[in-house]
Every structure is written in C-alpha cells, then in structure tokens.
Amino acid sequence: MIKMEHSVVISRSIEEVFAFVSDVEKWPQWRAEAVEVKKPSEGPVGVGTTFSGVGRFLGRRLENINEVTQCEPNRKFGFKTTSGPVSMQFTDTFESVEGGTKVSLVLEGETGSFFKLAEPIMSRMVSRQFKTNYANLKDLLEAQT
C-alpha cells in the first residue's frame, strides 16, 4: 500500500488553481509522469467523467483509464484509476490562505504485478515525484501574469 500527503501554497486565486488542476488535459505541463491525457468528450470535467492517460514511471510506459470521483469547484478534485497496473486514488483539496491557495494532495494506491516487488522503492519515488510535480505546478502558475 502506498500513501502520501503533500501540500503547497500557490500565489494565485483558488479559482485559477482549481481550474488549472482540474483541467486534466493540462497535466502534461506540470506532472512529469503524464505524457498524454485525453477526455473522450468536450465540456467541463465532473463526477463520472472518464479520461485516458499515458505516462512513464520507473522507465515503463503506463496506460490507464481514470474516473473523476470528486469535483467540488474551488474545494476538492479527486479521481481514481479504473484500469492499468497500479490502482490509485488521488484527492486534491483547495483552501484560500493568506497569499494564495493551499493545495493538499492525498494519494493512496495498491501496486500490482511488476510493481508489487518494488513497492518500498516505488513509494519513495512516488512521493518524490509528486512533490516535484506540485513544485512545478506552483512555478508554472506563479509565472503566469
């Protein structure tokens, strides 16, 4: 079982941060493991929306299908993998704080097949990767004018 929590404060409004994070097709801009993300239809993302992803982790190409499980504008955005080698549940919460928006990630997952043997190493790598991702998110959003 993998579990991690991480928070970052971004000097942008909660509306801007939520809109960017919940736009799954923008993930390759700030999530290093995300190579490509596609929604099957136009329109806003909401609970039940599915999207496909292609990523890279530990040198392996991973393809998965994901489903949005929580979407409360400017409060919470969550999704889970519904196919692929790793079962994960991600939840981002958003909070207005002095100077911007605090984004807090909770990630829980179960490894399978190949990754089960490497779970302790994978857990550390996932933690490091997501800390880097959220630093990228902060840098990207704070650089926008």
* Phi, psi angles (nearest 5°) of residue 17: -65, -45
State residue 43's pLDDT score: 78
State residue 41's pLDDT score: 74
What whole-number distance in Å separates Cα of residue 97 and Cα of residue 118? Answer: 38
| Residue segments in the chain with a per-residue pLDDT below the cut of 50 | none
State residue 87's pLDDT score: 83
Which residue, 1, 40, 5, is CA-closest to 130?
5
What whole-number distance in Å separates Cα of residue 5 and Cα of residue 48? Answer: 24
CA distances (Å), 93 to each of 53, 118, 133, 134, 143, in order?
A: 22, 29, 16, 13, 22
State residue 113's pLDDT score: 59
Structural domain range at position 104: 2-143
User: How many structural domains does the chain have?
Assistant: 1
109 CB neighbour count, 10 Å cutoff: 21
State residue 86's pLDDT score: 74
CATH number of the structural domain spanning residue 129: 3.30.530.20
Which residue, 93, 132, 130, 104, is CA-closest to 2?
130
State residue 119's pLDDT score: 65
